[in-house]
Structure 1
Amino acid sequence: MRLLVLGGTEFVGRAVVEAAVGRGWWVTVLNRGRNTVTQSGVVSLQGDRLSPDGLAALAGLSFDAVVDTWSWTPAAVASAAASVSATSYAYVSSRSVYAWPAAAGASESAPLVGPSDDLSDYAGIKRAGELAAVERFGDRALLVRAGLILGPHENIGRLPWWLSRVARGGDVLAPGPPSLPLQYIDARDLAAWTLDALEAGLGGPFNLVSPPGHATMSSLLAACIAATGSTASLRWAEPSAILDAGVQPWTDLPIWMPPGEMHDAMHTSDVSRALATGLRCRPIWKTVADTWAWLQAIGGVAPQRPDRPAVGLAPDAEAAILKELR
């Protein structure tokens, strides 16, 4: 397979490149050159899709498939889809394209948001990106509607924050209930499924996260303790106590959503279509352990995307909540 990856140096794109090289595919990446491609044998081209001639480096080239991880201006997806010579096009989209809040157990047939080019409307621009891919490639457009993405090289900071917090030790505010089910996808599992799907000629939308209950808050935090070797003590708190303290789900306490409408929308997606086409998800302990090993290898500080806000509860705020709970 001749694969073009638009991006390919940071998180999801990097996982796709590594997986494709591991399969012996011919891999070309096109990006702005801000980061170095670490895989040997990969053809690296530079181009800025927001510039008039940003795709000039692709002139005369053809590919079996393209993987596009672009998150912002939909026009960049449209220009790439219209310009590249390829058989199929995988656009890494988001479950955010479903009208909020998505119902519990929502499948790919759930209502969608309208497209938008307003960069403050993440759901709208992702939907616009989907439509741009479909307009050019039709049923050969693979729409990878990912949910929460974790794993080594994460540049949002969710799992790295929990690992760093647990590694510090002491009492750790653990948002309950412990059995709260979580859905996520390891970037490497996303990459493997996407390449399998492209090779099989699949198209259309797929929810791509683990099955509901693949992990829980308890198994996530236990894996963090095991990976770091920490002596931290988890202090479980009821959702109402956390919310009453002004803690923001998802941002102050990454990954966590309290039981109810928000949790159902984020962590109960129907993924039967992806499972039926070969999705396999590694256990939470493996994702956590590998992420911790990567963090240690780079000095313990995870990279942070400049276009995304930092996440995590401030130590003094956590201490105040723990004191009140006692």
Structure 2
Amino acid sequence: MKKILVLGGSVFLGRAVATAALRRGHEVTTFNRGLSGSDVEGVEVTRGDRDNEGDLERLVAGRHWDAVIDTCGFVPRSVSAGARVLSSHADHYVFVSSVSAFQDWPARPIDEASPRWECPSDADESSGTYGPLKAGCERAVREHFDGTVSVVSPGIIVGPGENVGRLPWWLRRVAAGGALAPHPGDREIQLLDVRDLAEFILARVERPSECDLLVAAPAGQATFAEWLALCAKATGADPALVWMDEEFLLEQQVTPWSELPLWAPLRADWRHAWSVSSDAAVAMGLTCRPLADTVVDTWDWLRGTPGFQGKPKIGMASEKERRLLTAWRGKGSGSEETAR
């Protein structure tokens, strides 16, 4: 049994990590503000703000953990302060970074040797965007934590509890009976189930070592069209998907990745969104459940969470989708294909 401190722990990945840790027999403490969600039953709940040094000092007073798992570090200056305080109160630090911390993603294929963004460990939230700040957070942990450090950089995470809303948006759209879809439908994707990532992180805690790993579903998992067919099967829908050329979508100023979630066009700046190496993670024990299971379980969770909205900028407004469908059909080139 390990004593584990989870920074976060109440939503999506943090919650999945806490749940997996308890199931594996570990003793879990969570540290969060109590604003984003409820903590998992069975953890020791501590309240506080990681940006408040007094809260951090109260957290660690008289305490020691085998490992810290940081699922919510986004600002290097904040992560630096926390790492300094935690350094003498834990042996191992697992920092959850992101594929966005790599300079070349999504324009070029990446592996662990690919360059990160340049961002200092004392940068604040005004010093950059999400990806560079994550790279700065990685440096913060390595510079200020004296024990062993594992950096885990996931690709795209989906599954029950997804708070971004990418897979939930598509599930709802497909369940409603139809939606536009972006060509090419045969483009392979890499979607990582949050529960598989949590298990992989816990394995790093149980066998601590200095490591720096990209974590993504292996290539060949599914195509975009196959994934939408899984969404249709899970929801019991029979949608007539209208497959639109990406040139048309870009002409209509559809924003890749967010307005059509997970759509990465083949133009240069998005060409390799799904070219994330998982070789090292697989060699260290990463296993991924069938994508069909992830889709079904997410739909079950979503139906039990009627108030779920996702992030504000995720998904296309219904009015814009209707305009696009009208414009596409007006070109005389619309093709409809049932997703089964």
TM-score (norm 1): 0.93
Match of 2:321 in 1: 318
SS at match of 2:179: strand
2:111 paired residue among 107, 110, 115: 107
Match of 1:162 in 2: 170
Measure the CA separation in 2 of the matches of 1:165 and 1:286: 19
182-191 vs 14-23, which moves further: 182-191
SS at match of 1:17: helix
CA contact (8 A) 1:26 1:42 kept: yes
Match of 1:203 in 2: 210
Match of 2:14 in 1: 13
- Counterpart of 1:325, as a letter, is W
- Counterpart of 1:296, as a letter, is R
Deviations 1:189-215 (A, max 9, x none): 110001112211132211111112312
- Counterpart of 1:66, as a letter, is V
Measure the CA separation in 2 of the matches of 1:262 and 1:197: 33
Measure the CA separation in 2 of the matches of 1:247 and 1:268: 23
Measure the CA separation in 2 of the matches of 1:47 and 1:104: 40
Measure the CA separation in 1 of the matches of 2:108 and 2:194: 24
Q: In angstroms, what is the RMSD of aligned CA positions?
A: 1.8
Match of 2:198 in 1: 191
SS at match of 2:35: coil
Match of 1:176 in 2: 183
- Counterpart of 1:73, as a letter, is V
Match of 2:338 in 1: none
Cα distance 1:35–1:248, how it changes in 2: closer, same or farther (>3 A)? closer
TM-score (norm 2): 0.89
Deviations 1:187-246 (A, max 9, x none): 111100011122111322111111123122112111111111112111112211221221
Deviations 1:69-102 (A, max 9, x none): 1243222211222112111101110111111445
- Counterpart of 1:154, as a letter, is E
Unaligned runs of 5+ in 1: none
* 1:127 equivalent in alignment to 2:135: yes
CA contact (8 A) 1:118 1:124 kept: no
CA contact (8 A) 2:53 2:81 kept: no
2:298 paired residue among 283, 291, 295: 291
Number of equivalenced pairs: 321
Unaligned runs of 5+ in 2: 330-340
Match of 1:28 in 2: 29
Measure the CA separation in 2 of the matches of 1:309 and 1:262: 24
Measure the CA separation in 2 of the matches of 1:310 and 1:298: 19
